Structure 1
Amino acid sequence: MKKIKIDVWSDFVCPFCYLGNKKIESVVEKIGISDNVEIKYHSFLLDPSFPTETTEPLVDYMTERKNYPREQVTILHQQLAENGKAYGIDFQFSTSLVFNTVKAHRLIHWAKQYDKNDALKDAIMYAYFTDGVDLSKEENLLDVIENCGLNREEALQVLNSDQFSQEVENDIYTATQIGIKGVPFFVINDKFAISGSQEDRVFENALKQVLA
């Protein structure tokens, strides 16, 4: 069977990314090709200008900063929460606190050397979307690190330096070169591009075309 590489650009504060990530992973498992697929997650910053030492309730962020009507945001969140259940996601939007994600992305790149980057990605998204953790506070981010079996002190050293900043910038630069303007964004074997958290069949059809 052919080897398949799936490159995924996403951001931690994006519910469509969380859902899309789970969908592609679910489809890969469903069609029985997990052993032949490598999913590589890449950094993307939806709001790089968001202050690094603060948070804002997600609903307020969407209505006040992004100017979406509150009723529209409520309906969207209800739909996402319902859709997420099928993939084991417990969206709790009322407690989610938007934060600047650059530090979290740097830590993902750091965790790659320990093969813990995917586990950390999931843990950060769970902390944000389900537990309502204030991830702008380094101690809370480090708690997530520690719970993933990673070294807290080493992670703190990363945060206190500019380590892995270049890796984040490289991911964003590549996204710019490809023309990515929103996430999640999936590229399969450098050939098929899928934008957004699509229905399972869209991912399934693309993977089957690659395998054909």
Structure 2
Amino acid sequence: MTETRLSVDIYSDIACPWCFIGKRRFETAVAALPFGDKVDVKWHAFQLDPSLPDHYEGSEVDYLVKAKGMPAEQVAGMLEHVTAQAAGEGLDYDFEALRPANSFTALRLLALAKERNLGNEMKEALLSAHFEKGVDTGSTAALQAIADSVGLDAAESAEVLAGDKYADAVRADGVRARELGVTGVPFFVLEDKYGISGAQPAEVFEQALNQVWKEIGGETLQMLGTPSPDGEVCGPEGCN
């Protein structure tokens, strides 16, 4: 008899603060489930701002004010809110040290890591580097160091960073996300049928996973659960 397993596809960007928070909340939910070891997660790329240069000359506040047209007061309030929410999940965001950078190369490196069964480790390392450690994730040297830290083959990583390998895979993820109607991340797809948008509280994820575990099947993507005020997302126009 084939073992029942629950597939979860997560669309996110390493430059999305709510994606790290959503990752933690989702992991908390999975850890609380008796079938948590049967939940298979696959990460997918959803680049929020392809126009961002590899190395942005300015702070995160500068970027959001200038690139997104957000008032400085709104940016300050948003960053304060997201930092507090991150702290609640054990994350130590440092927006003063954060270095805005185009995430495309990092997402290509993540595609390699997924092929080597190191997708979750790489996703964790990239998010932490960007939001907690002030690492320039647009730097190939920095990305090489991250790849080394999670156990990827150094030569293989260097080849990816030096060229455009996995570019098509990253773009294909974005196309698929938009086909599903994804406009903000993080976005979770359970069993290719059920969708959950945003960094929902762990209880929402736990309830949804329990429901799908009992009801696996169907063809149409459906939104699950009542949207929570804490289920924030990041979209091309910014984060709420």
* Distance across 1 between alignment mates of 2:145 and 2:163: 19
Q: Aligned to 1:85, which of 84, 87, 107? A: 87
**What are the superposed Cα offsets for residues 7-55 of structure 1, whole Å, 9 maximum, x if unpaired?**
1100001001111111111101112322110011100110011123445
Could you say what secondary structure the match of 2:192 adopts? coil
**What are the superposed Cα offsets for residues 151-204 of structure 1, whole Å, 9 maximum, x if unpaired?**
333211112222111111111111111111111111111222111111222212
Q: Aligned to 1:144, which of 143, 146, 149? A: 146
User: What percentage of aligned pairs have identical amino acids?
Assistant: 34
Change (3 A) 1:202 1:55: farther
Cα displacement (A) at 1:2:
4.2
> What's 1:50 paired with?
52
Which blocks of at least 5 consecutive residues in structure 2 are unaligned? 215-240
* Distance across 1 between alignment mates of 2:75 and 2:213: 39
- Shift >4 Å, 4+ stretches: none
> What's 1:190 paired with?
192
Is contact 2:110-2:123 (8 Å) kept? yes
* Distance across 2 between alignment mates of 1:56 and 1:43: 25
> What's 1:13 paired with?
15
Change (3 A) 1:42 1:55: farther
Is contact 1:56-1:99 (8 Å) kept? no
Is contact 2:106-2:138 (8 Å) kept? no
> What's 1:94 paired with?
96
Instruction: Give the TM-score normalised by structure 2.
Output: 0.83
* Distance across 2 between alignment mates of 1:9 and 1:163: 20
> Which letter maps to 1:120?
M
* Distance across 2 between alignment mates of 1:165 and 1:149: 22
User: What do you get for the CA RMSD once the two structures are aligned?
Assistant: 1.6
* Distance across 2 between alignment mates of 1:56 and 1:209: 45
Instruction: Give the TM-score normalised by structure 1.
Output: 0.93
Which structure: greater helix fraction?
1
